[in-house]
Amino acid sequence: MNIKLFREKFFKAITSIMQLMLAWLVILLILRIFEVLYNGITRTFPESMLKLIALSVWFDIMFWLKVVVCITVVYIVLYFIKPTLARVTGLIALFLLSISQLLLITYFNTSLVPLGADLFGYSLADIQQTLGASSALNIVTIISLILMLVVFGFVLIFLSRRIKVKLSFVLIISIIAFLALLTNVQQYSSMIDLRNEYDQNLSLNKADYFLTSSVNYFLPASRETDIYADAYIEQYEGNESLGDAFVYPSEAAFPFYHTNEAPDVLSPFFKPIQSPPNIVILMVEGLGRAFTNEGAYLGNFTPYLDSLAGESLYWKNFLSIGGRTFGVLPAMMGSMPFSKNGILEMGAQMPDHLSLYSLLSYNGYRTSFYYGGDSKFDNMAIFLKKNGVNAVEDLKTIPSNYRKLPAKANGFTWGYADDQVYKHYLGNHPMGSPTLSVILTVATHDPFLVPNQDRYKKQFEQRMSLLGFDDSKKMNYRNFANQYSSVLYADESIRDFINAYKKRPDYANTIFLITGDHRMAEIPLRNKIDRFHVPLIIFSPLLKRTAQFESISTHFDITPSLLRLLKKSSKLNLPTGAGWMGGGLDTARSFRNIHSYPLMQTKTAMVDFIQGDYHLNGNQLFKLNVDLEETPIQDEKKLKQLNNAFDNFKRKNDKISNGGKLLPDSIIKRYQLR
């Protein structure tokens, strides 16, 4: 082929693909309008529509330019082979991208967080169960999807042929696309500030987010190591206002093993404990601080927990360490690091460890775990077996005469209703020897279907009136009626459980802990930290005084502090060293944070770190206030400090991912029951 013919065919190829790409840009615009209206009508409209539109257009155009580059290269090659082959391939690729974008928009409408590489952190069985639970697919959604597919086909096949483009325009767009890809202009999106996390997530191009996070997951960028990082960290941790640093006697072999003991901060709040107390831990699915207890910024929809908090030790600025349920058991019971995808994902390869379960078992406690769903989900069953839990009651063992949660149209239900799990626990749990019981609920999870839902929806309406909502605010909240009614149901179920437990002879010697596994995202999030913001309530007739704390603590801190309390009161036999991530609960009543901890929103997204009153998310630094509102700040010194501390954790965490040990074998053999 001579140069003239080559140039002629080349220009025809890029003109042809640009016709398709401009038609696809129309589809992206249609999808964006659909997404904003769909979420606005069924969820809530953004606080700043103009800013959202500007940022959305920016993200969509950036994604479009990326696709222009990727498809154009392939299209030209195929065009030289056969023009028809190139066009058919281009049509199929853009049609599939359109479908993917539509499905990801639908997913976001249900979860209110975009789907990223966290998809790859779950087993096929877990994905199937989650899809079965999803409330996204209904007859209206399916009809909408079909109509949108027809629109995609019409625009790509027919409209693209009617688009006339000049060669000069094609060349200019191609150059812009390549330059945009090379210079990463997408970073300038931060110039448009959307403070609301829901608005920020809504503005993202969902296909771009999924593909980018997937590439970063499978091809992660290498981290640059700062050789002075440890010095910065020690200087920070040595500050008296931030608590004592851990002492690691064998950090190379056991990166998390330290000899420090958590301070005994709980004993001053308790009467003298004469015999080992029962411990009952309620891990409530999705229980976020945003709608729980006094001062909740969305309004208090847990009247019983609010009243209970006044009779308890209550942490209003408490944090889960995971944005989904996978993180709660290993963090709360074992104060364990994450490994690569959450330590439970290691399954049978999970490193040997000690936990509240195993150490209390060693000291004569009978242990149990109650869950309305399938304990195999997230490999919880493997963790429980590894910790020698005496009784595991779940979907497969709870008797069928107990009532399950209402099923969806497809027949799916997560399992047994919260009140039924509590009822089974009360009828099945022995008295006598001291017990450690963990109950993980499931009703406040998508699809948020609970028994007698109409009754709780009436309570929801009454609650909104009691909170003084005007008609406009009520209208907006009704888009989340199932979510709020499930929260009211969960609150009432806890009330009935505690009242029933009070009738037991062992109630007087029982300590209750109530917290959320994470904040449900299906009600719009306020900011980055909101997903982790949950309450912690420690309630017991053994308390001699109550208190409310504004200091920050996390699930990592619970086991170290409980063991310290029990060691003093019940003379527990415990090891002198531990592998805990947590340094113990902070009982300062004023706002502060003495901890430095990583947070992991999904199984593939460990991008959050807290230290002092700062929160690092990706490479963005936020300052936290007493209500856990956060403000983005520019402070290069502080940003470097947190990045160095976070990198130090990641290096240690990588060792565990690669088969490293948490504790010396001698400690494991002595204290872990088999």
- 594 has a pLDDT exceeding 90: yes
CATH number of 258-582: 3.40.720.10
62: number of CA atoms within 13 Å, CB side? 24
The dihedral over CA atoms of 470, 525, 527, 582, expressed in degrees to the nearest 10, equals 130
Which stretch of DSSP H or E encloses residue 534? strand 533-539
Q: Minimal CA–CA distance to 125: which of 445, 370, 374?
A: 374
585: number of CA atoms within 13 Å, CB side? 28
- 193 has a pLDDT exceeding 90: no
Distance CA 305, CA 310 (A): 9
Do residues 296 and 467 lie in contact, with contact meaning Cβ atoms separated by under 8 Å?
A: no
- Segment 183-200 mean pLDDT: 75
Tokens standing for residue 99 = 């479908």
- Segment 447-475 mean pLDDT: 97
Strands (E), 415-509: 435-440
4: number of CA atoms within 13 Å, CB side? 0
Q: Which residues contact 199 (CB under 8 A, 6 or more apart)?
A: 46, 47, 48, 51, 52
Task: Among 1-15, 457-471, 583-597, name the one with the lowest average pLDDT.
Answer: 1-15
pLDDT of residue 223: 55
- Segment 477-493 mean pLDDT: 98
pLDDT of residue 238: 36
Q: Which residues contact 18 (CB under 8 A, 6 or more apart)?
A: 165, 169, 170, 173, 174
Place of tokens 């009779």: 311
Task: Among 13-17, 18-22, 133-137, 651-655, name the one with the lowest average pLDDT.
Answer: 133-137
Q: Is the pTM of this model over 0.85?
A: yes
Strands (E), 384-526: 391-393, 435-440, 510-516
Helices (H), 261-404: 303-309, 328-334, 356-362, 380-386
For the chain, give the mean pLDDT.
91
Which stretch of DSSP H or E encloses residue 617? strand 614-617
- Segment 581-608 mean pLDDT: 96
Q: Minimal CA–CA distance to 401: which of 426, 423, 434?
A: 423
- 644 has a pLDDT exceeding 50: yes
- pLDDT (tens digit, 9 = 90+) per residue, 201-250? 999 999 999 999 999 888 887 655 444 444 444 444 433 333 447 889 99
Task: Let me know if 87 is exposed, middle or buried by CB neighbors in 10 A (0-12, 13-18, 19+).
Answer: buried
Distance CA 35, CA 28 (A): 10
**What is the DSSP pairing of strand 366-371 with strand 510-516?**
unpaired
Tokens standing for residue 263 = 């301070």
pLDDT of residue 138: 63
Instruction: Determine what percent of the chain is predicted with pLDDT higher than 90.
Output: 77
Strand partners, 534: 318
Res. 161 pLDDT band, cuts 50 70 90 = confident
Query: What are the extents of the domains in the chain?
Result: 3-218, 258-582
- 560 has a pLDDT exceeding 80: yes
pLDDT of residue 235: 41
Distance CA 347, CA 477 (A): 40
- Segment 369-389 mean pLDDT: 96
Side chain identity, residue 71: I
- pLDDT (tens digit, 9 = 90+) per residue, 486-511? 999 999 999 999 999 999 999 999 99
Distance CA 126, CA 326 (A): 11
pLDDT of residue 189: 66
Res. 79 pLDDT band, cuts 50 70 90 = very high
What is residue 498's three-state secondary structure?
helix
pLDDT of residue 240: 35
Distance CA 539, CA 304 (A): 13
Res. 674 pLDDT band, cuts 50 70 90 = low
pLDDT of residue 186: 62
Instruction: Determine what percent of the chain is predicted with pLDDT higher than 70.
Output: 93
134: number of CA atoms within 13 Å, CB side? 19
